[in-house]
């Protein structure tokens, strides 16, 4: 059995998961694409050391910031953790990275091809219109599904073909796991979500986000790709003197709201998710009742 807790950023996933995991005496597996990297703590809202000591957490701090953990590697490692964990009580898979969650719950078939930096650079220099036309010739099925302006997916499809000689469309698909999964989603109205995002952004600043970004820039260099991600890129602009701190904070809030909107759109397509209002005073009890119902049904 597996319990998934998902939702947009700042929806309270980690807090709820910790409470449920404590009641179950289970483990938490992170499904966050940035929490896997060491030293990126405050800006990724990583569970604190104290929280991690309360309940075993997995897939956190497993890679150095200079390394790249592929989706295929994440999937392989996470599946191994789930299989190694005793089925009762069920493990909790918690996060907001849709692809990470889908890789487990849907059993996505992922080509095991690592990013080819030099190839991507060469293809990017040619221009998106041209490389998408190439993809149409090599893999028309994939090209039909990938928007002509979607550079990331276009380059990914091409690099998979050049490395393996097999079109990416022939290597994709789904093979769902054979164990039961309960998917819990947290959501609220947009205005409440916006307030939560603003509050958490200021909490991150108070917790030392500026110092964290400054340290990471000094240690790894400002060109580190992770330092261009949400929360880090805006503070990096402030440290470079391009904007003041208030402007950086405002940008983080705006960009996080935009990101949360994309997350909600992604998760709303999944009809397997049981949604709960994260502003409810009895949220924990309501989710716990759902978990107990799920476990009872599986034991019958």
Architecture category of domain 117-170 in CATH: Orthogonal Bundle (1.10)
- The per-residue pLDDT of the chain, averaged, comes to 93
Tokens of 189: 């109205």
27-36, 92-101, 120-129, 204-213: lowest mean pLDDT where? 120-129
What is the DSSP secondary-structure string of 51-87?
HHHHS-EESSS-B-TTS---HHHHHHHHHHHHHHS-S
Residue whose entry in the numeric block shows the structure tokens 């995002």:
197
pLDDT greater than 80 at residue 86: no
Tokens of 85: 């964990």
37 and 126 in contact (C-beta within 8 Å)? no
pLDDT given at position 299: 77
What average pLDDT does range 285-291 have in this prediction? 97
164 and 182 in contact (C-beta within 8 Å)? no
Kindly report whether the global pTM for this prediction surpasses the value 0.75: yes
User: Hey, do 2-109+175-299 and 117-170 end up sharing a CATH topology, with the first three levels equal?
Assistant: no
pLDDT given at position 62: 96
pLDDT given at position 109: 87
Helix axes 71-84, 98-105, angle to 10 degrees: 50
160 and 111 in contact (C-beta within 8 Å)? yes
pLDDT given at position 272: 95
* Phi, psi for 91 (deg, rounded to 5): -75, 160
For 98-156, the pLDDT digits (tens) are 999 999 999 998 887 878 888 888 888 888 999 899 999 989 999 998 988 888 889 98
For 43-85, the pLDDT digits (tens) are 999 999 999 999 999 999 999 999 988 888 999 999 999 999 8
Tokens of 256: 């996080």
Q: Is 237 exposed, middle or buried (0-12, 13-18, 19+ CB in 10 A)?
A: middle
DSSP letter at 178?
Answer: S
288 and 182 in contact (C-beta within 8 Å)? no
Residue 175's pLDDT band (cuts 50, 70, 90): confident
The answer to whether the peptide bond before residue 34 is cis (omega within 30 degrees of 0) is: no
Query: Length of the chain in residues, anyone?
Result: 300
The domain locations on the chain are: 2-109+175-299, 117-170
Alpha carbons 6 and 192: distance in angstroms, whole number: 17
Give the DSSP H/E element, type plus range, for residue 276. Answer: strand 273-277
Query: Which of 3.40.50.150, 3.30.160.100, 3.40.50.300, 3.60.21.10 would CATH assign to domain 2-109+175-299?
Result: 3.40.50.300
User: How many Cβ atoms sit within 10 Å of the Cβ of residue 167?
Assistant: 19
CA dihedral over 244, 249, 250, 254, signed as positive or negative: positive
């Amino acid at each position: 059995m597996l319990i998934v807790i998902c939702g947009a950023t700042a929806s309270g996933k980690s807090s709820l998961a910790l409470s449920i995991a404590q009641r179950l005496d289970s483990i938490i597996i992170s499904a966050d694409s940035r929490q896997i990297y060491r030293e990126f703590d405050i800006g990724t809202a990583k569970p604190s050391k104290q929280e991690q000591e309360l309940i075993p957490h997995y897939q956190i701090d497993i890679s150095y910031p200079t390394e790249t953990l592929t989706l295929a590697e994440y999937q392989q490692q996470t599946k191994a953790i789930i299989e190694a964990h005793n089925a009762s009580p069920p493990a909790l898979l918690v996060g907001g990275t849709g692809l990470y969650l889908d890789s487990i719950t849907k059993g996505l078939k992922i080509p095991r091809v690592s990013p080819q930096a030099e190839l991507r650079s060469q293809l990017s220099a040619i221009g998106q219109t041209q490389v998408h036309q190439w993809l149409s010739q090599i893999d028309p099925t994939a090209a039909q599904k990938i928007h002509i302006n979607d550079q990331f997916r276009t380059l990914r499809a091409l690099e998979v073909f050049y490395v393996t000689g097999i079109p990416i469309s022939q290597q994709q698909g789904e093979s769902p796991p054979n164990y039961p999964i309960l998917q819990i989603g947290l959501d609220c109205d947009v205005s409440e979500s916006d307030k939560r995002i603003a509050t958490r952004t200021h909490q991150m600043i108070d917790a030392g986000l500026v110092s964290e970004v400054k340290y990471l820039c000094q240690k790894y260099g400002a060109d580190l790709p992770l330092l261009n991600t949400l929360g880090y890129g805006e503070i990096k602009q402030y440290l470079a003197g391009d904007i003041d701190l208030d402007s950086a904070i405002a940008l983080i809030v705006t960009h996080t709201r935009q990101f949360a909107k994309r997350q909600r759109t992604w998760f709303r397509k999944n009809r397997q998710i049981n949604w709960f209002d994260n502003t409810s005073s009895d949220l924990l009890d309501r989710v716990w009742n759902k978990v107990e119902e799920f476990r009872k049904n599986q034991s019958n």
